[in-house]
Each structure stands twice: as structure tokens, then as C-alpha cells.
Chain A
Amino acid sequence: MSNHEHHENAHKPAQRKEMSRRQFLSYTLGGTTAFMMGGAVLPMVRFAVDPLLVKKGEGTYVKVVEESKITNEPQEFKFTVHQIDGWYVSDPELSAWISKDENNTIFALSPVCKHLGCTIGWNVKGKNEFDCPCHDARYTKDGKNLAVAPNPLDEYEVKLEDGFVYLGPIKPNTRV
């Protein structure tokens, strides 16, 4: 809107800011095509990413073992959880290494190695450590990673009720 521009325009033939026929056609055709393809493809994309958007299920607690059976030495206990995996409903068996610490607090460790997911065992090599058979990761009784693995073993939420140990969802290790 400067004077200079104004001056220049005065000498040119009036410039019409209209779109050309060709532009109009390519916009309408392009728009219609985009609308039709979008209408078809967007529902499919939403359909495909649905698992990302569904709310994660609340963890429930499962009765695992009598409190009195828990010792200072970690022991493996198996328990089943009710799992709804899409259309497939099952009760897979999980396991936990449960023990008491010096203060008699009961805690439960996940058997899944934090290196690459193999299954660890207690005292396999007689060193009072958790050992992983895959790449020799080692953990203390509290699950602290001593070698190979980058993180300590995960813990289960523990609830004690009527003399029984109940295990809930997995959480990161809180002991080390």
C-alpha cells in the first residue's frame, strides 16, 4: 500500500485477481478427489490405529499364595490372570519371585529379564543372585541389575489380605 506501488499500478492495465479456468478446474477436481479418497481412507486409518487409542485396562489383583509360605529366600509362584486379548480370552499363567526382606516386607519380582526379555531364575549358579540364561545378566535379591541388564527387575504390586498375598500390575522396581 505504499505510494510507490500505487504509482506503478496506475500505469498498468487493471490486474484481475481471478483464478484461471484451469486453476478453478484443478482445485475443484483435486478437492473432490481428496474428499472421496479421504472419506474412504480416514475411517480405515482410524480403524487401524484403534489399539493406540483404547484405554488401558485397570489392573486387578490375583490371589497367589498364603503369606506364611513366603521366606527370605525368593521362591517362584505361579498364578493365572484373566486376559482379554481382542477376541481371544484366556487365562495365561504368570510367575513371580516372592520373598521377604530384612524388615519382613513381602515383595514380588517379575521373572522377565530387563536385558532382552528372557526368563530369569534364582540362584541358578549358586551365587544367591537372579541369573538369566540368555546373556548372563545377574541381579541381586532386590532385583538390582549387576551385569548386562540396563535396569533392575520389575516388581508386582503386592497386597496382603486375610493372610494371602495378592499380586497386581507390574511397576518399575522401587527397591533399588
Chain B
Amino acid sequence: MFKSVYNWIDERLDITPLWRDVADHEVPEHVNPAHHFSAFVYCFGGLTFFITVIQILSGMFLTMYYVPDIINAYASVDYLQHKVAFGQIVRGMHHFGASLVIVMMFLHTLRVFFTGSYKAPREMNWVVGMLIFFIMLGLGFTGYLLPWDNKAYYATKVGVEIAASVPVLGPYIADFLYGGDIVGAQTLTRFFAIHVFFLPGALIAMLAAHFIMIRKQGISGPL
């Protein structure tokens, strides 16, 4: 059944080379945990990606109930967590996943560092990786405000005040993040926009660049 549908499409569009090019490549021995168990450290990049996918999916589903408005935000989160079926689980995935993605990214970065994979010709991928890292921090910071509870409020206040301590530009950055003078209605809407549109867009673009470069250059050699 699946086979004949696939063949029907393949006859017309010749799709086999498309996925072969992406999926069909050998896993070298030194990154295969079946050969050297310690090669499991090479899994952390993939695990980071897996959790990133979960963040994006669970985030999309959360926006079905969430509203970025100072009167309703907390109530909508309370509602989706406690009244909607599986709300606790979907919010839980996004909440704990946000921490886990940082942990995985850190372990992945350690692997890249200690295997020296950042060296030529892969310097650009290190830089892209660093951009991904900062985008992730931005997602964590902007997402934290969204439940609009006390912790959210003060974390954002503290974060923006830290940003405000930057020489010269500080006050402008703070105004930009606050969308005004206080953590308020305008802060919430702009953090929401940044959290669900701007940063995920940037993240997907950077991940694409990351993976295209890996595909082009191959995984780095053994130590």
C-alpha cells in the first residue's frame, strides 16, 4: 500500500534522489556508539534538535489557548493547564523542555569543543552554533514572561535592568524591551511576538544553515 503510493509519486516526480541525498550517508565508526560506547556524546546534537522540535510543536499547541494580554494571560495559562485535557502535559513539555534544550545544547557544545570539531574547515558552523545558543537564551527569556505570574514579572524586570546596565545603549535597549517605562501590557505583547514569531524564525534559519554545513562538510574525524 505505502509502497505503491510511494512508487506512483516517484514515477512522476523522481523523489528518491531528494531524500537519499539527505538521509543516505554512512555513520563513521568513531561516531557509532555500537562500536565505541563513548561515541554517545555524538548524540547530543540530535537530542538538542529533538527537543527543539518538541518545543516548537508544544509551543504551537499552547498558543491555541494562550492570550498575550495582562488581564487574561495568567487566567488562560491556569485554564489550559488545569481545565484542558493533557494541558498539564503539554505545558509541562514546553516548560521542562526549555531547560532541557539548554542542557543538551551545552553537552553538544562540550562535545564539539573537546573533539576539536570547531577547527577549520568548520569554524562557520561554530559561529552559527553560537548564534543558535543566543537565540535559545532569547527564547527562554521572552517565554518566561508569558505566564504573567510574579516570577515572570520579576524575572523580566531583573533581566531588562541587567540589559539597561549596558554602557550608552542600555536605556534604549530597556525601552525597546519594555515597550514603554514599565513591565506591562506592551512588554507582554512584544515578548510574545518575539517568542513565537521572530526568534523561532531566526532559529529555523540558523538550524538550516547548521545542518546544510554539516551535510556539506561531513562529521569531523576521530581524535
Contacts and interface: CB of A to CB of B under 8 A. Distances in A.
Interface residues on B, range: 20 to 34
B64 A48 contact: yes
Contact of B61 (A36, A44, A53): A44
B89 interface: yes
Interface residues on A, range: 10 to 19
Interface of B: 50, 54, 57-58, 61, 64-65, 72, 75-76, 78-80, 83-87, 89-90, 93
B75 A47 contact: no
B76 A43 contact: no
Nearest to A44: B61
Given A86-B79, A87-B78, A88-B75, A44 B86 contact: yes
Contacts, number: 45
B71 to A, nearest CB: 9
B214 to A, nearest CB: 20
Give the dominant DSSP class at B's interface. helix
Contacts of A87: 72, 75-76, 78-79
A40 interface: yes
Nearest to B50: A36
B85 A40 contact: no
A86 B79 CA distance: 7
A157 to B, nearest CB: 28
Given A87-B76, A88-B72, A46 B85 contact: yes
Nearest to A86: B79
Contact of A41 (B57, B64, B65, B72): B57
